[in-house]
Structure 1
């Protein structure tokens, strides 16, 4: 498909998940595990995108103790060299309503349209097999920072994981590297907040 200026329009970020979910829905096999497995190499990216978005929802303080668990599982498996996400049985068998999934994906279109303007496959060396485990380790550390229920710290790891996930899905090494840099900064911020809390608690006790 061509744009008005003659440039080729890039594929939609939403298209793979919409096509896969519709195909599995028609076959009666649409579950969370099947959906992520069929996305293949992109399943880590999609899982990170979806689970990081969950942590960005307006939830009560401390909710990241629950919402960050799938991210710890996903990034931990990436660190261990799994070929794709392997969810625990009960979570993998969770059925998905295709209509609700479609509405949710389409509701995100204002965000994904903006990303589509800058995303492009580049710096593919970042996604070489030898880099998967080190990247998984770094993502696990970022997810652990998100897991800690510290004030003011949760948003930054979640946003960085979302950016990395989008880069993984689209094989855009520059975007993934940007997300990793944001993630390292968020881990440092979390460490500063944690140290400050420990120092204040120690001062109160003494």
Structure 2
């Protein structure tokens, strides 16, 4: 898209997700597997972006035990060197509420707008074949922190993974590195909260 000042404006990151979800919802085929396939199932980046959005949907407390499972599966497959994402049948058939998905995407617009301004292909060494497994391992640890039903810590690892996934999609190693730093901080936060809860529980017992 061309802006009036002659600067080329990049497409919105959220448009492919929203357009695909709306089209499949109208056709009655909107599932996790169909959405991912339409976006490009071979790309771990899109898988991580979509699954991170699922964990940010307005759901009851403790839902991360379910919504984080696709992230654990995806990052584990990346860690093990799979060539593309292979969802188990039950996860692939999981129905998605298009209205909740849209609200979540729009809620993240302040984040995606900032990312869209700076995203460029750079530092691609981070995504080289030899770094794929260590990157998958690091993301698996972040996804595991998200999976744990720890109060006040869920959004942080989810947004970290979202930023990493966007960087992978756009081959921007700098943005993914920022997401990895945030992810490390989220893991530390989760560990701190768990330690505090354990210490509190022990104090109550004794």
TM class by shorter-chain length?
A: 0.7 to 0.9
Give SS of 2:118's match: coil
Number of paired residues?
203
Which 10-residue stretch deviates more, 166-175 or 133-142?
166-175
Segments of 5+ residues of structure 2 without an aligned counterpart are: none
* Partner residue, 1:12: 12
Are 1:77 and 2:77 matched, yes or no? yes
- Name the Cα RMSD after superposition: 3.0
Are 1:183 and 2:169 matched, yes or no? no
* Partner residue, 2:146: 146
Give SS of 1:134's match: helix
For the residues of structure 2 that align with 1:142 and 1:38, how far apart are their CA atoms? Answer: 26
For the residues of structure 2 that align with 1:155 and 1:96, how far apart are their CA atoms? Answer: 19
Are 1:192 and 2:158 matched, yes or no? no
* Partner residue, 2:91: 91
Segments of 5+ residues of structure 1 without an aligned counterpart are: none
For the residues of structure 2 that align with 1:153 and 1:69, how far apart are their CA atoms? Answer: 17
For the residues of structure 1 that align with 2:104 and 2:164, how far apart are their CA atoms? Answer: 21
For the residues of structure 2 that align with 1:96 and 1:152, how far apart are their CA atoms? Answer: 25
1:105: how far off?
Answer: 8.9
For the residues of structure 2 that align with 1:94 and 1:203, how far apart are their CA atoms? Answer: 42
Deviations 1:117-142 (A, max 9, x none): 12111111111111111011000000
Query: What are the equivalent positions in structure 2 for 1:17-166 lying under 5 Å apart?
Result: 17=17, 32-37=32-37, 39-40=39-40, 43-93=43-93, 100=98, 104=102, 108=106, 110-111=109-110, 112-166=112-166
Give SS of 1:117's match: helix
